[in-house]
Amino acid sequence: MIKADFLFTQYAKSFSVHIKNLEELTVEQIQEIENFVSSRKGIFDFNSYTFSIQKKIEFEEFVQLIEHSPIQAKLSEHIIQVKPQPRVGFGQYKGMQYNELPDSYMLWLKSNYRGYDREVIEKELKRRKL
C-alpha cells in the first residue's frame, strides 16, 4: 500500500499540510485522513490537496499525532521565510498580517469575503497553495 506523502508547512500563526500524492491513495486512506482532520475540527480542501487543523502545532507534534493515528504517511517539513504583508482591517483578526492568519480562516475568507483587500487575500491563498 502506498503511504500518504505529507508536506508540513509552518507559518507564523498556523500551518498547512499538502498531500503530494492524494490521487494515488485508496478511498480508505483518504477517509482516514478526512476523519483525522474532522476529529480535530480542521478543514480539508480537495482542490489544493491541503488540510489544516484549528490548533497551531509544530512539526514534531504533528509527527506524534500521525504516529498515534491509523494513517500511514511519509512526513517532510517545508520551512519558509515570510515577508511582512498588509494587515487585516476587520473582524477578530484585525491588526494581524495576512501571513499570520490560520489556514482555517484563510479558507473561510476564500469562500465568504469579497471586500476591498480581496487581491491580498487571493495572493496569500496562492502562496500557501490553499
One digit per residue, the tens of pLDDT, for the chain of length 130 reads: 899 999 998 876 778 999 999 999 999 999 999 999 999 988 999 889 999 887 888 899 999 999 999 999 999 998 766 566 688 888 888 888 888 889 999 999 999 988 888 989 999 999 988 8
How many CB atoms sit inside 10 A of residue 45's CB? 17
Tell me, what's the pLDDT at 56? Answer: 80
Cα separation values, 20 from 11, 83, 127, Å? 19, 25, 16
Q: How many angstroms separate the Cα of 51 from the Cα of each of 22, 35, 48, 82?
A: 12, 12, 9, 20
By the 8 A CB rule, do 55 and 42 touch?
no
Residue 71: all three cell numbers together: 494513517
Looking at residue 47, its pLDDT comes to 87
Contact 82, 14 (CB under 8 A): no
Beta bridge partners of 33: none
Other CB atoms within a 10 A radius of the CB of residue 109 amount to: 22
The grid coordinates of residue 24 equal: 494515488
- pTM to 2 decimal places: 0.62
